[in-house]
Amino acid sequence: MLTEINETADSDTFCATGAAWMVEEAEKIYNLPFNDLLFRAHSVHRANFDPNAVQMSRLLSIKTGGCAEDCGYCSQSAHAPTGLKASKLMEVERVIEEARKAKAGGATRYCMGAAWRSPKDRDMEAVLAMVRGVRSLGMETCMTLGMLTLAQSAALAEAGLDYYNHNVDTSERFYGEIITTRTFADRLETLANVRDAGMKVCAGGILGLGETTEDRIAMLLTLANLPVPPESVPINMLIPIPGSKLADAPAVDPIDFIRTIALARILMPRSHVRLSAGRTDMSDEMQALCFFAGANSIFVGETLLTADNPGEDKDAALFGRLGLKPMQLGAAE
């Protein structure tokens, strides 16, 4: 195990061995003096990526609301009186047209999300057509459709899906406090099916659910210690949804959030770490520190599924102030 945490090179050497990260090591890194932690994380980031390039994704809800899951944070759960009406699966041509607009706006990855517990066989043909259509535009494709069987995973992979998103959300210990309609093991089974089918994995979590610091570290360790860590790791800050179980959840401390981004970068040096939901409540300064700590992916556009997101003009202005640029397709793969 790592015994020295002051040498940046140790992190890459350690990860290359395939050995599992231990809780004690991760806690020691997380609790470093803030400046030391940021220096360590940024050094790891710079060793693996262009430090001034940010991968741009666009997210579209292809089927909204009416989900059978009871996720306490979600506006789309049928169990919560959030006022969101369920919609039917979007038509294939409309999805592809929206992807064209996203590409024209600078997005290189197109993510499509459906509020399902898992996709039904009758919907798979349309979903596969969406994947093929977006791929034909020269964009990377990502989907989040709930739990997948191995057969469904294989079909998506054959259609050309690049990434599948399935967040673990939080630690295994705390998971049952947030979701009761599926287990933590169910989450990991879907991730294994996705990986076995040959797709890349997008998996992260949410901060602000009422979890402890130890839960946040455990969530990242779950991901970092998978047989192959996720290629994409979205870190979300809870957006409290009126009517949801977590409508009155207290705000996340910005320094704690940045520490979590930094730890994700150190534990998973070659993964894209996405500064995901909650950016509308982050100051420019907080986002800048997240980018310095190793975040190198964002969602662009004014909406994330059903939640607000900074508009493209605001992101462009921030990128201009920080000297950041959009990451080119295929960079650091």
pLDDT higher than 80, residue 34: yes
Q: Which residue has the higher pLDDT, 43 or 331?
A: 43
Catalytic: 111? yes
Q: pTM for the complete prediction? A: 0.86
Query: In terms of DSSP bridges, do strands 307-308 and 303-304 run parallel, antiparallel, or are they unpaired?
Result: antiparallel
pLDDT at site 9: 38
What is the average pLDDT across 185-191? Answer: 95
- Locate the DSSP E strands across 182-244: 200-202, 205-207, 232-237
In the predicted structure, residue 64 carries a pLDDT above the cut 90: no
> Of 40, 58, 109, 142, which is the active-site residue?
142
Asked about 40 being catalytic, the answer comes back as no
Q: Is 173 a catalytic residue?
A: no
- Per-residue pLDDT of 297-329, as tens digits, reads 998 765 544 455 556 688 889 999 999 998 887
71 is an active site residue: yes
Structure tokens at 299: 């969602």
Select which of 15, 71, 216, 290 is catalytic. Answer: 71
Q: Which two tokens stand for residue 153?
A: 């995973």
Q: Are 55 and 108 in contact (CB under 8 A)?
A: yes
Q: Which residue has the higher pLDDT, 266 or 309?
A: 266
Q: What integer pLDDT is reported at residue 39 of this predicted model?
A: 98
Residue 117 has pLDDT above 60, yes or no: yes
Q: How confident is the model at residue 290 (pLDDT cuts 50, 70, 90)?
A: very high
pLDDT in tens, 83-110: 566 678 889 999 999 999 888 888 888 9
Is 67 assigned a catalytic role?
Answer: yes
Q: Are 40 and 2 in contact (CB under 8 A)?
A: no
Average pLDDT value for residue range 192-202: 96
> Does 142 participate in catalysis according to the annotation?
yes
- Indicate which residue of 15, 67, 182, 279 is catalytic: 67
H or E element, residue 297:
strand 297-300
For the ranges 16-20, 175-179, 180-184, the lowest mean pLDDT is seen at 16-20
Report residue 7's pLDDT band, with 50, 70 and 90 as the boundaries: very low
The Cβ-side half-sphere exposure at 84, using a 13 Å CA radius, reads: 24
**Neighbour tally for 202: CB within 10 Å:** 28
